[in-house]
């Protein structure tokens, strides 16, 4: 039997970080006289790269040194706000343990900077269980482009059709589908109707079993 893999996005999938990203972006944009609504954040922030977010809300491309400085400012605010409240989505640690006991390859593939991933991995201790770890610095084309998921499959030594991705955003689900992978939609920030069609949906990890994953992969 060929190797099988499960790949996790981070924000909204391993941890419900989006409310804290919203807080950080609010502080960031308020300094610049901007006040995005919750609806705007839901549509143009969750699952998007910082390059896209800054371009959308500032109304112009932000590149080079200016982008680096702005990203560091905003992500520093996020880590400050979130550091003392890091908490996994219910059932994630046990689900990851179960996957490893059943010989699944596992990886994390996030659009967030590596420093954010390091903060969360450090608090939750799952780095040792991930055979592929990719953050925004590791790709040139961000979600919905499939690059981060195709690179993950390569790192894990599996074919894209043998991967199941856990994603919570429109762009993230699209990236997984564009990579030719199966997708479990995590409804932490969006409803089923707000996501592209997924192979299964969960609110917490109590809503998924090994049989679900095996059935999804069997229909590849």
Element (H, E) at 87: none
Put simply, whether the predicted model's pTM sits higher than 0.85 gets the answer yes
Q: Is the pLDDT of residue 161 over 70?
A: yes
Lowest-pLDDT choice from 1-10, 45-54, 198-207? 45-54
Residues of the chain with CATH 1.10.150.240: 18-84
Contact 107, 156 (CB under 8 A): yes
Residues of the chain with CATH 3.40.50.1000: 5-16+87-218
The gap from C-alpha 150 to its chain's centroid, in whole angstroms, comes to 15
Q: Which CATH superfamily is domain 5-16+87-218 in?
A: HAD superfamily/HAD-like (3.40.50.1000)
**Dist. CA 178–CA 213, nearest whole Å:** 19
State yes or no: cis peptide before 144, omega within 30 of 0: yes
Check residue 1 and give its pLDDT.
53
Active-site residue among 9, 11, 162, 168? 9
What SS3 class is residue 133? strand
80-122 tens-digit pLDDT: 999 999 999 999 999 999 999 999 999 999 989 999 999 999 9
Considering the domain delimited by 18-84, tell me its CATH architecture.
Orthogonal Bundle (1.10)
Q: What is the DSSP letter of 143?
A: T
**Dist. CA 164–CA 141, nearest whole Å:** 21
Q: What is the DSSP string of 147-170?
A: HHHHHHHHHHT--GGGEEEEE-SH
40-49 tens-digit pLDDT: 888 888 778 8
Residue 11 a catalytic site member: no
Among residues 143, 148, 181, 146, the alpha carbon closest in space to that of 165 is found at 181
């Amino acid at each position: 039997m060929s190797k099988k893999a499960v790949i996790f996005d981070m924000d909204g999938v391993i941890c419900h970080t989006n409310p804290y990203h919203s807080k950080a972006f609010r502080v960031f944009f308020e300094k610049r006289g901007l006040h995005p609504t919750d609806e705007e954040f839901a549509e143009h922030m969750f699952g998007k790269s910082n390059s896209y977010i800054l371009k959308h809300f500032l109304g112009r491309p932000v590149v080079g040194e200016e982008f680096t400085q702005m990203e560091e400012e905003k992500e520093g605010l996020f880590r400050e706000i979130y550091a003392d409240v890091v908490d996994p989505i219910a059932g994630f640690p046990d689900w990851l343990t179960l996957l490893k006991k059943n010989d699944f390859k596992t990886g994390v593939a996030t659009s967030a900077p590596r420093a954010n991933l390091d903060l969360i991995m450090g608090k939750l201790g799952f780095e040792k269980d991930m055979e592929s770890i990719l953050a925004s610095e590791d790709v040139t084309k961000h979600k919905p482009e499939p690059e981060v998921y195709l690179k993950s499959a390569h790192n894990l030594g599996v074919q894209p059709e043998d991967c199941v991705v856990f994603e919570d955003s429109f762009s993230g689900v699209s990236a997984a589908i564009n990579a030719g992978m199966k997708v479990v939609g995590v409804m932490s920030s969006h409803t089923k109707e707000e996501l592209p069609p997924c192979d299964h949906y969960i609110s917490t990890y109590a809503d998924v079993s090994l049989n679900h994953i095996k059935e999804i992969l069997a229909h590849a």
